[in-house]
């Protein structure tokens, strides 16, 4: 009598590998979006740290100042003419995730401390916090 071997066939194994590959590709994409959102949040914190300085410069010197701040993933720089000051955060090429490399987020800063995203922003709205979309 022949011995019957139990187990998965080659076709069944190929189907399982294909399903796992599809699920893994979704996981990688979701992870990259999560990382990009975290880096944008870091940029927002860095730029928001300059906001009180800019607001004070507008109120006391009627200028935006020339402040800058180097963050983990890029640099925030103040520019513009009071009372229309802009904080521009530029992501660097080395540490930022590929979706954000050399992208820019511009923040308008008003005399009252208002903080809004301006039209010069090149970061995809998918990565921006919902309050700035």
Please state the domain count of the chain. 1
Peptide bond into 131 cis (omega under 30): no
Question: Does any domain span residue 75?
Answer: yes
Collect all residues with Cβ–Cβ distance below 8 Å to 100 and sequence separation of at least 6. 36, 39, 40, 73, 91, 123, 127
What domain range includes position 106?
10-132
The tokens for 57 are 């410069």
Question: Does any domain span residue 2?
Answer: no
Question: Does any domain span residue 1?
Answer: no
What is the full per-residue pLDDT of the chain (133 aa) written as tens digits?
567 777 888 899 999 999 999 999 999 999 999 999 999 999 999 999 999 999 999 999 999 999 999 999 999 999 999 889 999 999 999 999 999 999 999 999 988 888 889 988 999 999 998 887 6
> Is residue 115 within 8 Å of 109, Cβ to Cβ?
yes
The CATH number linked to 87 is: 3.30.700.10
Question: Does any domain span residue 3?
Answer: no
How far apart, in whole angstroms, are the C-alpha atoms of residue 46 and residue 40? 10
């Amino acid at each position: 009598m022949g011995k019957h071997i139990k187990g998965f066939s080659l076709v069944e194994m190929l189907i399982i590998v294909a399903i796992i590959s599809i699920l893994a590709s979704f996981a990688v994409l979701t992870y990259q979006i999560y990382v990009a959102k975290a880096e944008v949040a870091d940029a927002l914190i860095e730029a928001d740290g300059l906001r009180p300085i800019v607001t004070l410069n507008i109120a006391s010197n009627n200028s935006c100042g020339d402040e800058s701040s180097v963050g983990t993933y890029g640099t925030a720089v103040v520019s513009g003419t009071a009372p229309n000051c802009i904080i521009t955060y530029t992501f660097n090429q080395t540490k930022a995730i590929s979706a954000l490399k050399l992208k820019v987020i511009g923040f308008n800063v008003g005399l009252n401390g208002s903080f809004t995203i301006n039209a010069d922003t090149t970061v995809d709205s998918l990565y921006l916090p919902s309050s700035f979309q």
